[in-house]
A and B are shown apart, each in its own frame.
Chain A
Amino acid sequence: MIETRLAHHSDASCSTNSARTRASAKRGARILAFGLLLLALADCRPKRAKEDEKGSVFPRAETFYLGGRQWGEPSTFNPIGTPGWPISTMNLLYETLLLYNSLDGRMQPLLAESYAVHDASVEVTLNPAARWNDGRPVSGGDVTFTFGLGQKFKSLNIAPIWQYLSSVRAYDKDGRVATDANIGQDYPRRVVFELNPERKNPLVVLDALQAQIIVPRHVIEPLLAERDNNLDEFKKLKFEQGAVSSGPYRLFSSSSEKIAVVRDDGYWGNAALHGGKKPAPKYIVHPLYKSNDAFSVALRQGRLDISTTFVPRIWLKAEKGVRSWLDREPYFLSSSIPMLLVNHKRAPLMDVHLRRAMAFAINYNDIRELSVSGYSEPLRPGIILPFGLERRFFSEEDAKKYGTWFDPERAKAELAAGGYSAVFGPRGELVETRDRDGKRVPTLYVKSPTGWTDWESIVRIAVKSMRGAGIDVRERFVETSVFWNALYEGDFDLIMHTPSTQPSPSKPWSRFEALLTSRDFVPLGQRMYKNIGRFNDPHAPGYEPRIDKLLALIPTLTDEGARLGAYRELNAIFMREQPYLPLVYRPDTFYEFSIKHWSNLPSAENPYLPPLIPGDRLGTNMLWAITPVSN
């Protein structure tokens, strides 16, 4: 507004001024004004005629625009490298065996038509209709090859599953193990994942079945062999065009502004899984905008149909046709818990009184309302989500008995119980915290990446409320790259982190495992990717073996009652010990959509699929259900 007003003034004054001055300047000013006017007109012209789509490669009615899964042009589409969208999020190009529905906890078929969990194995049977886009069947050989890559190359993401597996074998229709020689000829469809008896855990195997894309053995194996099985060399192949995959779309184009995939009308699943229907959009385009705001603007202008980016105050965008999963608070379905990790190897943080005092001191409601736009259910004690599928494991009774919540008085009581005292200045500001011996406790720093504004705000609120309770903490925002190093090597007092976020069959077990396991325990300075704060050191005197026992036990339990008991016990230990400080609930990915160009997208009112965008696991299935808005 200011700009237009100023421009107007200057125009007016120019003309009055020039009237007074001599002829040459008058002419100059006129020419200038005329030039500017011309420029403005020239600039305004084309936009009026913009709505027609002449020359458009992607007709609007046949194109579905989505955003938020990729920042910057992907460097490769190699399914074994570190590919970007659409391969990184699955099921548009390459497919998984199963699809997990986080709303009902069930697995849905994809490449596999069925699966079964046995005592010592997990078994899948492939859909006989499943085909690669070169017409060859997706066979048990492809599955054993894909998983076998993880056994051969330890740096691949599929490698860790081999701690839990002893073998992956394909069986032909006569029940014989399919050897390399007969794979591909009589086409084995049954694949058995033998569990490692030392570390029996069907949950992580199920996780892998719905997360690992299957790659075509007949393409990848020869390419690897040509390179003497040198993975580094293989990763240099970019698989840009004409790649053999099994999914409903193929790569169409990729640039630094957008990635586009085009429908493969010969997709096997159209007939086998979707009753002969084709996915509605011919093209799916992921524009590569450079900031969250850009996605947000594009969404409200209807240029984008769906996005997983953070859109602040989403309720204000409703009039522009922007919707989220829920149309009221908390708007999204939470599945992860951002928290402060505590370094148990740095004094005085190994003191449970101090940790519990911190947990009682933090104003969680402020965090929920001010830092995350209210996109979170109120925080409850422990690390089991008190809603959704996990609610059955949550115990209200335990939460009351052992839990922590915002209560400054209890925070002070915990501090007193630990022998701490706080020294406040004349204006009520905290000067220092003293321990039992009256010595000053060094200031504790909360690390968080600089520029992650939601986390910065969460940390500020947490620090403010802890200081109010008499705990000497301060925020320290660091460069992102420095942050990661500090996190894994344990170079922090307290640090922001969200452990194990994706909804998957192994939840909430994998969240407990990511936070509490004492396996692979290493000292500070070396890297730990789970239990990063080094809680419950197995080599230290106070080691509590019960935690690791429960973590090993839960995945093997089949009885619901026993599982409930085990989760309850583990969560109670977490609440009593408060090894880390959960702060708020957040969705794994956000989910906002525009109703301008496509209808029948899943939402809480129409929950035929969980809130996932197409090309993100089960979210892909919405492509067969949505319809273009005709106007």
Chain B
Amino acid sequence: MLKNHPTLTYIAGRASWYVVTFFVAITVNFFLPRLGDANPVDTIMAKVSEGLDATSAKAKEEAYLKEFDLVEVEPSGKVKRDAQGRPVRTSLGHQFINYLGMSVRLDLGSSILQHPKRVSEIIKAALPWTLALQLPTIVLGWLIGNGLGALAAYRRGVFDKLMYPLALLASAIPAFCFGMLLVYVFGIRLEWFPAVGGYDDGLTPELSFSFFRSASYYYVLPFFSVFSIVVGGQAIGMRSMCIYELGTDYVKYAKLLGISESKILLYMFRNAMLPQLTGLALALGSMVAGALIAEMIFSYPGLGMAVLTAIQGNDYPLISGCTLLVTVCVLCANFSVDVLVGFLDPRIRAARQTGN
């Protein structure tokens, strides 16, 4: 039946690849954090072991290992021990099967370092901030960046000569550097904008005008720290794409025909946009990982810091939960672009039809 529907075949083909990719990705997500030397209990023990004697420290460590399912437990509820009396660690294979089962059920388990908090709770609290910071910066940055890039390529002249180095600078300046500069100049020296936090310390998040006002005021610096970089990067990419397009026959032909400039620009934009669209999808997919640098510099709420501390402390469930989220989002975004490009790009459309 599928044979008769080239579009469906195309989508099904892509989808099956994505399923395979998904399983490879979650396998990597599982094993990578566990390859290291340390385990999360060490990190916890370091915090709580001051003043403990050997017996209590051992009891405490085993209590944690048991709690996090990192050791084998006998049916009686006691920790299983080897000949030397040391607890038997749960095998990686066993852990992996548990993990796969949970991933398929979308159960992320509970965090180790923030025990007994659920991973889903942590993500739920941080995700809105991350999205609020990332989505507008990426989408707006993408639109404005591409617009500027196309304009620069088409206009050339002084506009291009100024725009290009500026865009290069914006995209090449390290995010942390630019962020710190913003904090220093506008937050500390001029005191125009607050330097740290997501909203006024005197408020709590709620649906009120004062909270919204405060949050937007605190939003400015983190926004620009990410935005300018996105704009710069996109503008450079779009500019080169457009310059390439300008040399193509269809543009020359259109010019000879006397078609209006804005129309030519539109044609060009549509063709040059395709690779940029893929870039946008990737950016949108991976944005859930958080803007770590902006979060750190501005102490802005979000997922990035949660991911970082999880990685530093080997908090396996939280790492896996976040990477799972990123994996799913990146794959979904890519998949939709694949499908979309399939419709937008006449070349792919044509290839599909001739293929049948």
- A residues at B contact (CB < 8 Å): 1-4, 6, 9-10, 13-14, 16-18, 20-21, 24-25, 28-29, 43-44, 46-47, 50, 53-60, 63, 65, 72-73, 75-76, 81-82, 154-157, 159-160, 163, 207, 231-232, 235-236, 238, 253, 255-258, 260, 285, 287, 289-291, 294, 297-298, 300-301, 303, 479-482, 484-485, 487-488, 500-502, 510, 519-520, 522, 527-530
User: How many whole Å from B71's CB to the nearest CB in chain A?
Assistant: 13
A57 contacts B203, C-beta separation under 8 Å: yes
- What is the bound-complex CA distance between A60 and B62, given in angstroms? 46
- What is the bound-complex CA distance between A155 and B79, given in angstroms? 14
Q: Which residues of B contact A485 (CB under 8 A)?
A: 37-39, 42
Q: Which residues of B contact A480 (CB under 8 A)?
A: 43, 312-313
The stretch from B23-31, B187-195, B266-274 touching chain A is: B187-195
B159 contacts A257, C-beta separation under 8 Å: no
Bitwise interface map of B from 153 to 168 toward A, beta carbon under 8 Å scored 1, else 0: 0010111001000100
Q: Which residues of B contact A502 (CB under 8 A)?
A: 50
A160 contacts B299, C-beta separation under 8 Å: no
* Interface presence of B21 (CB below 8 A): no
Q: Which residues of A contact B262 (CB under 8 A)?
A: 24
Select from chain A the residue with minimum beta-carbon distance to B67. Answer: A232
The stretch from B96-104, B110-118, B320-328 touching chain A is: B110-118
Select from chain B the residue with minimum beta-carbon distance to A204. Answer: B51
A484 contacts B38, C-beta separation under 8 Å: yes
A256 contacts B126, C-beta separation under 8 Å: yes
- What is the bound-complex CA distance between A226 and B261, given in angstroms? 78
Q: List 23 A-B contacts (CB under 8 A).
A: A21-B157, A21-B159, A24-B261, A55-B211, A72-B305, A81-B116, A156-B60, A157-B51, A160-B51, A163-B53, A257-B197, A257-B301, A297-B195, A297-B196, A298-B196, A301-B191, A481-B36, A484-B45, A485-B39, A488-B49, A500-B51, A527-B61, A530-B53
* Interface presence of B151 (CB below 8 A): yes
- What is the bound-complex CA distance between A159 and B49, given in angstroms? 12
Q: Which residues of B contact A53 (CB under 8 A)?
A: 202
Would A1 and B185 be within 8 Å (CB), given that A56-B210, A76-B116, A157-B48 are in contact? yes
User: How many whole Å from B69's CB to the nearest CB in chain A?
Assistant: 12
Q: Which residues of B contact A289 (CB under 8 A)?
A: 196-197, 299
Interface contacts beyond A43-B220, A53-B202, A155-B59: sample of 8 additional A-B pairs, CB < 8 Å, sorted by A:
A3-B178, A28-B151, A156-B60, A207-B51, A480-B43, A482-B38, A500-B51, A530-B53
Q: Which residues of B contact A17 (CB under 8 A)?
A: 157-159, 162
A6 contacts B166, C-beta separation under 8 Å: yes
* Interface presence of B252 (CB below 8 A): no
Q: Which residues of B contact A297 (CB under 8 A)?
A: 183, 187-188, 195-196
A253 contacts B114, C-beta separation under 8 Å: no
From A21, A63, A479, A481, give the contact of B202 (CB < 8 A): A63
User: How many whole Å from B100's CB to the nearest CB in chain A?
Assistant: 25
- What is the bound-complex CA distance between A488 and B50, given in angstroms? 12
Q: Which residues of A contact B60 (CB under 8 A)?
A: 154-156
Q: Which residues of A contact B217 (CB under 8 A)?
A: 43, 46-47, 50
Would A46 and B216 be within 8 Å (CB), given that A13-B162, A481-B42, A485-B37 are in contact? yes
User: How many whole Å from B188's CB to the nearest CB in chain A?
Assistant: 6
Q: Which residues of B contact A500 (CB under 8 A)?
A: 50-51
From A55, A81, A290, give the contact of B203 (CB < 8 A): A55
- What is the bound-complex CA distance between A238 and B110, given in angstroms? 14
- What is the bound-complex CA distance between A285 and B197, given in angstroms? 14
User: How many whole Å from B304's CB to the nearest CB in chain A?
Assistant: 9
6 smallest beta-carbon distances between A and B, as pairs? A55-B210, A481-B38, A154-B59, A520-B54, A56-B202, A75-B114
Bitwise interface map of B from 321 to 340 toward A, beta carbon under 8 Å scored 1, else 0: 00000000000000000000
A527 contacts B210, C-beta separation under 8 Å: no
Would A47 and B193 be within 8 Å (CB), given that A1-B185, A232-B63 are in contact? yes
From B55, B155, B188, give the contact of A21 (CB < 8 A): B155
Pair count A-B, CB < 8 A: 219
* Interface presence of B239 (CB below 8 A): no
User: How many whole Å from B266's CB to the nearest CB in chain A?
Assistant: 13
A529 contacts B59, C-beta separation under 8 Å: no
Q: Which residues of B contact A290 (CB under 8 A)?
A: 295-296, 299-300, 305
Select from chain A the residue with minimum beta-carbon distance to B211. Answer: A55
B185 contacts A529, C-beta separation under 8 Å: no
B203 contacts A56, C-beta separation under 8 Å: yes
- What is the bound-complex CA distance between A16 and B161, given in angstroms? 13
Bitwise interface map of B from 184 to 225 toward A, beta carbon under 8 Å scored 1, else 0: 010110011101111111111100111101101100100000
User: How many whole Å from A534's CB to the nearest CB in chain B?
Assistant: 13
Q: Which residues of B contact A257 (CB under 8 A)?
A: 197-199, 205, 301
- What is the bound-complex CA distance between A73 and B113, given in angstroms? 11
Q: Which residues of A contact B52 (CB under 8 A)?
A: 157, 159-160, 529
Select from chain B the residue with minimum beta-carbon distance to A498. Answer: B50
Q: Which residues of B contact A235 (CB under 8 A)?
A: 115-116
Q: Which residues of B contact A285 (CB under 8 A)?
A: 201
Q: Which residues of A contact B115 (CB under 8 A)?
A: 75-76, 82, 235
* Interface presence of B181 (CB below 8 A): yes
B46 contacts A484, C-beta separation under 8 Å: yes
From B36, B66, B126, give the contact of A479 (CB < 8 A): B36
B296 contacts A291, C-beta separation under 8 Å: yes
* Interface presence of B40 (CB below 8 A): yes
Q: Which residues of B contact A75 (CB under 8 A)?
A: 111, 113-117
A72 contacts B309, C-beta separation under 8 Å: yes
B66 contacts A232, C-beta separation under 8 Å: yes
A291 contacts B299, C-beta separation under 8 Å: yes
From B51, B59, B210, B298, give the contact of A54 (CB < 8 A): B210
From B59, B185, B201, give the contact of A287 (CB < 8 A): B201
Select from chain B the residue with minimum beta-carbon distance to A506. Answer: B51
Q: Which residues of A contact B66 (CB under 8 A)?
A: 232
B59 contacts A72, C-beta separation under 8 Å: no
Select from chain B the residue with minimum beta-carbon distance to A450. Answer: B312
Q: Which residues of A contact B116 (CB under 8 A)?
A: 75-76, 81, 235-236, 238
Select from chain A the residue with minimum beta-carbon distance to B170. Answer: A6
Q: Which residues of B contact A527 (CB under 8 A)?
A: 54, 57-58, 61
Bitwise interface map of B from 113 to 144 toward A, beta carbon under 8 Å scored 1, else 0: 11111000000011000000000000000000
B53 contacts A160, C-beta separation under 8 Å: yes
Q: Which residues of A contact B172 (CB under 8 A)?
A: none
- What is the bound-complex CA distance between A228 and B6, given in angstroms? 63
Select from chain A the residue with minimum beta-carbon distance to B200. Answer: A56
B151 contacts A25, C-beta separation under 8 Å: yes
Q: Which residues of A contact B192 (CB under 8 A)?
A: 44, 47
From B63, B159, B182, B314, give the contact of A481 (CB < 8 A): B314
User: How many whole Å from B206's CB to the nearest CB in chain A?
Assistant: 9
A294 contacts B196, C-beta separation under 8 Å: yes
Q: Which residues of B contact A14 (CB under 8 A)?
A: 159, 162
Q: Which residues of A contact B261 (CB under 8 A)?
A: 24
B46 contacts A3, C-beta separation under 8 Å: no
Question: Which residues 57-81 of B have a CB within 8 angstroms of A?
Answer: 57-64, 66-67
